[in-house]
Amino acid sequence: MVVAGVARVASRISSMPLLIKHGEIVTPDSRYTADLWCEGETITRIDRDIAPPPGAEVIDAGGKYIFPGFIDPHVHIYLPFMGTLAKDTYETGSKAALVGGTTTLIEMCCPARGDDALAGFETWMTQAAGRSACDFTFHMGVTKFDGKTEGQLREIVKRGVSSFKIFLAYKGAFGIDDTELYRALKLARELGVIVTAHCENETLVAERSKELLAAGKTDPGQHHESRPPRVEAEGVHHLMTFAELTGAATYIVHLSCQEALDEALAARRRGVRVAIETLIQYLVLDKSCAERPDFEGAKYVMSPPLRDKRNQEVLWNGLRDGLIQTVATDHAPFDFANQKPMGRDDFTKIPNGIPALEERINLLHTHGVKAGRLDLHTFVNVASTQVAKTFGLFPRKGAIQPGADADLVIFDPAYRGIISAKTQSMNVDYSAFEGWPIEGRPSAVTVRGQVAVRDGRFVGTPGWGRFLQREPTHFG
Ligand code: URP
Ligand code: ZN
Ligand code: ZN
């Protein structure tokens, strides 16, 4: 019902024909200058010197790159978590995404363990449909697994969700046990669904946290002591064992360190089907941020935690060499003023998350491309095309070719700016990157042919975003 309602909203809005001239088109395997003609929500022609027809909107992209719309494969917009609710809504979150060049969101649909999967799916759909200005889809959280849930998961896959999400962490909240893990992976294998996974050993986290608190170590800097790299590596090793024995296709979310990467690569070498995601936060921030005094470190508490700086080069090299497939944000915004302080006297109660949805692309360009760590093609691949391929969206998304959705980012590499919470669109009261310079930004962004950002400013339409149905693609 909800989806039908959205179709009604969207059908009242239409995109006028659009001509984008003189831009330098960059995809993972090509780079050339041409004009783009978009009509009826898709790219219909790519050519030299297309004459502007009457009635069309024309954008001059001279001196700018044109990238396929970026896709964030791991965000939380609606997230009841750790006794509070993440701050963004689909109105604010999709606006922030678009200003930052992200035209498709893949959100983790995370019903509580006590809730039905299908009811959870419908709740998340209600949050997004009719509100989102950009397109969206979900990874379906499997937060328990029994006969009833299995039937509901089959139904959710039929409705167009072809990826699951499981948590090996968050004991008592989203975490599942090994029997559930085994059965969920077997179902995924049967249905051709890829399983995304948060990998940390929850028993180790719980025991180490108790020990630290008992020793009076309560500050935000203890968070990373409670879940060191080996805790994540053990989670990856565990998932890889289950993936090997079930044959399921897996995707490790938010991989943060060398130890975890080594486990994933060892499994891949023996034939386990595994793709790897890292986050922009792990590429540019390190654990010293979470050690800042006066509770400032709470701004940087997330799980897995920020790591020792040496891991940054490991992750950049992993992206460059194709060992790591994607860069996400795991966007999870909690205010510093009145949500992070829930854990002022106990680091285990600090709501986990570092907001970054708006800044992912600008930071990846600044610290990846401009710093000489990634070439432009790899940049586009890890933040758009490879995401689309992994999650059954390609070539509708992640491509610049006739027939693809006209999701385009006209990116000005000459722009220079400073990140600040005062000017951001994300609905949260701080920026983890306050005062950081950026080199380049999206100057215009389109979603299925409709201009959603002009001169760096949001001009889109809440409700224009559509739920993207995806077919299972991971059989065999
Ligand atoms: O700290 C994090 N990552 N917060 C969001 C929930 C999750 O684990 O993805
Ligand atoms: Zn997670
Ligand atoms: Zn997450």
User: Which ligand minimizes its atom distance to the CA of 74?
Assistant: 3
CB-based contacts of 148, cutoff 8 Å, min separation 6: 116
Q: Please report the atom of ligand 1 found closest to the CA of residue 352.
A: 1
Q: What is the whole-number distance in angstroms between the Cα of residue 449 and the centre of ligand 3?
A: 30
The pLDDT of residue 14 is: 67
| Owner of token pair 């249905």 | 191
Q: Please report the atom of ligand 1 found closest to the CA of residue 81.
A: 6
331 lines ligand 1 (CB under 6 A): no
- Give me the amino acid identity at 452: A
The total of other beta-carbon atoms located within 10 Å of residue 208's CB is: 17
Most informative mutation of 76, 174, 199, 301 for ligand 1 (most atoms within 8 A of CB) = 76
Please report the beta strands in 144-218, taking only residues with DSSP state E, as ranges in sequence order.
Answer: 163-167, 194-198
pLDDT in tens, the chain (476 residues): 333 333 334 444 567 899 999 999 999 999 999 999 999 999 999 999 999 989 899 999 999 999 999 999 999 999 999 999 999 999 999 999 999 999 999 999 999 999 999 999 999 999 999 999 999 999 999 999 999 999 999 999 999 999 999 999 998 889 999 999 999 999 999 999 999 999 999 999 999 999 999 999 999 999 999 999 999 999 999 999 999 999 999 999 999 999 999 999 999 999 999 999 999 999 999 999 999 999 999 999 999 999 999 999 999 999 999 999 999 999 999 999 999 999 999 999 999 999 999 999 999 999 999 999 999 999 999 999 999 999 999 999 999 999 999 999 999 999 999 999 999 999 999 999 999 999 999 999 999 999 999 999 999 999 999 999 999 999 98
- Cis, peptide link before residue 304, omega less than 30° from 0: yes
CB-based contacts of 220, cutoff 8 Å, min separation 6: 290, 291, 292, 295, 297, 298, 300, 301, 343, 347, 350
Q: Please report the atom of ligand 1 found closest to the CA of residue 170.
A: 8
- Give me the amino acid identity at 418: I
Most informative mutation of 303, 349, 357 for ligand 1 (most atoms within 8 A of CB) = 303
Contact between 5 and 129 under an 8 Å Cβ cutoff? The reply is yes
Q: What pTM was computed for the model?
A: 0.97
The pLDDT of residue 214 is: 98
256 lines ligand 1 (CB under 6 A): no
Q: Please report the atom of ligand 1 found closest to the CA of residue 301.
A: 1
303 lines ligand 1 (CB under 6 A): yes
The pLDDT of residue 476 is: 83
Going from the C-alpha of 52 to that of each of 24, 36, 67, 183, 406, the distances in angstroms are: 18, 11, 21, 56, 17
Instruction: Concatenate the DSSP letters of all residues of 104-133 into one string.
Output: EEEEEE---TTS-HHHHHHHHHHHHTTT-S
Residue 442 sits at φ, ψ, to 5 deg, of -70, 125
Cβ < 5 A residues, ion ligand 2: 198
The pLDDT of residue 87 is: 98
| Owner of token pair 């791991």 | 74
Q: What is the DSSP letter of 434?
A: T
For residues 118, 124, 130, 136, the Cα torsion angle rounded to the nearest 10 degrees is -100
Nearest CA to ligand 1 atom 3: 303
